[in-house]
Amino acid sequence: MKNYFIFILSIGLIVSLFSCFPARVFRYGVADIKDGEKFDAITINNDSTQQFHFFETTNTNRFHPPSYLKNNSVEAFDKFTSKGKTVAFLVIKNDTIIYENYSKKYHKNRLIPSFSVSKSFVSALIGIALEEGYINNIDEPITNYLPELKDEQLKEITIRNVLDMRADFKFGENYFNPFSEVAKYYYGRDLKKFITKLKAKGSPGNEFKYQSVNTQVLAFILENATQKAIHQYLEEKLWKPMHMEAAGSWNVDDKGNIKAFCCVNAIARDFAKLGKLYNQHGNWEGQQLIPKNWVDSTLYFNKELNDFVYSNHWWHTVNELPYSDSALVHIMKNKQPYKFKTNHKGNPKAIIFPSGDSFARGVLGQHIYINPEKNIIIVRMGKGFGFTKWRKMFRTIAREN
């Protein structure tokens, strides 16, 4: 009888390990670079007969590591980008790879998880669906496309709110809390079931609040509007037209629902192609894949929004100048939107305004950085952030190359 009881208890524990999402957090551990292989995934096919390859230079003097580094030789930079938490680092200028390095066990043909870099792919697909008439306009309520949402307050949230992370759902964004909503979405079994229970928290449009569920909402809007699985739409509209070098993959839950808020896996060079597409205002080798106005509205601001750091599922860097009348005149002369930073008395102490460069970013320090003015793309993939001042490094590389 005792042995029978132990057997039943063991079976119960095993079942709970595979079904209860906090237990699945324990089983899989916190998000790491191996997650692309841990979870089930659907293939994003490329066209092996048509592949775009960036040019490769043999000129070792073409790339200049950041001048602020104590040792800024290329050899020292190789050591920097092959140790610690970086697994891939590429710098591309005018379609030429001027720097490329991989850490041990990684190489140019290995698929690497991108985590929230995936959000920027989803944004591109929204722009395409808008152009193709599947979505009428982004100021529509999300419930027009997701009637399965039950909370009445969700009718006030627009697609634009979701794109700019200003929806304010009742949703905890803490990967290290096994009971948070983002953990449930990441480790859970059925995203479509979870989304029907989504609730609003505050008033939409009032403040920036980064929540991964926004991207999952966009994905289900795309699937309902286009009547296509989102990975198929990505394959049809971007992956094959951009002539990706390798097939990619997109992780799914147990029901086969795409984890749209994360989990596109690709080789580093193919991630760079999204950067090239945005640097060229959505035009790929003469073919307009994403509407130009969509890309421009993503990369450039015509008014203050989110302190200029986030829009349309892309991050942005900002410039900051000490406040002065001459600085303000200069900014206004260039017709740039701006915002004052104030001191404790409420007086302006600095002026912040958009810098013109942008990036997609993942939770472990994955980046696709673009500088359209210099036509530079930087891809950094990693096991974690490690060296944390990546934006400073990217901007310095863009400025000095």
Q: Which has the closest alpha carbon to 42: 223, 239, 226, 258?
A: 258
99 lies in a domain? yes
49 lies in a domain? no
* Per-residue pLDDT reduced to its tens digit, 316-374: 999 999 998 888 887 887 788 999 999 998 899 999 999 999 999 999 999 999 999 99
Asked whether residue 130 falls in the same domain as residue 230, the answer is yes
Asked whether residue 255 falls in the same domain as residue 323, the answer is no
Domain end among 266, 299, 325: 266
373 lies in a domain? yes
Asked whether residue 199 falls in the same domain as residue 94, the answer is no
Asked whether residue 136 falls in the same domain as residue 223, the answer is yes
DSSP for 122-189, please give it: HHHHHHHHHHTTSS--TTSBGGGT-TT---GGGGG-BHHHHHTT---BS----TT-TTSHHHHHHH-S
DSSP 353: E
395 lies in a domain? yes
User: At what angle are helices 268-279 and 292-299 packed, to 10 degrees?
Assistant: 100
Asked whether residue 81 falls in the same domain as residue 127, the answer is no
98 lies in a domain? yes
> Residue 32 corresponds to which tokens in the numbers above?
């790491």
Q: What is the strand order of the sheet 248-251 is part of?
A: 41-44, 248-251, 264-266, 112-113
* Per-residue pLDDT reduced to its tens digit, 165-218: 999 999 988 776 777 888 888 888 899 999 999 999 989 999 999 999 999 999
**Paired sense of beta strands 41-44 and 248-251, if any:** antiparallel
Domain end among 233, 266, 299: 266
103 lies in a domain? yes
Q: Which domain holds residue 200?
A: 111-266
Asked whether residue 124 falls in the same domain as residue 261, the answer is yes
Asked whether residue 294 falls in the same domain as residue 241, the answer is no
* Per-residue pLDDT reduced to its tens digit, 115-128: 999 999 999 999 99
Q: How far apart are CA 250 and CA 232, in angstroms?
A: 11
3-state secondary structure of 330: helix
How many folded domains does the chain comprise?
Answer: 3
Asked whether residue 254 falls in the same domain as residue 137, the answer is yes
The answer for residues whose C-beta is within 8 angstroms of residue 282's C-beta and 6 or more apart is: 127, 288, 289, 290, 291, 292, 294, 295
CATH number at residue 197: 3.40.710.10
37 lies in a domain? no
* Per-residue pLDDT reduced to its tens digit, 300-312: 999 999 999 999 9
Asked whether residue 383 falls in the same domain as residue 325, the answer is yes
Average pLDDT for 93-103: 96
Asked whether residue 249 falls in the same domain as residue 305, the answer is no
Asked whether residue 253 falls in the same domain as residue 127, the answer is yes
* Per-residue pLDDT reduced to its tens digit, 11-66: 444 444 445 556 565 556 677 888 889 899 999 999 999 999 999 988 878 999 99
Asked whether residue 12 falls in the same domain as residue 154, the answer is no
Q: Which amino acid is at 295?
A: V
In the chain, how many H helices and how many E strands?
A: 14, 15
Q: What is the pLDDT of residue 20?
A: 57
232 lies in a domain? yes
DSSP 258: B
Q: Tokens 């003015």 — which residue?
A: 373
> Average pLDDT of the chain?
91
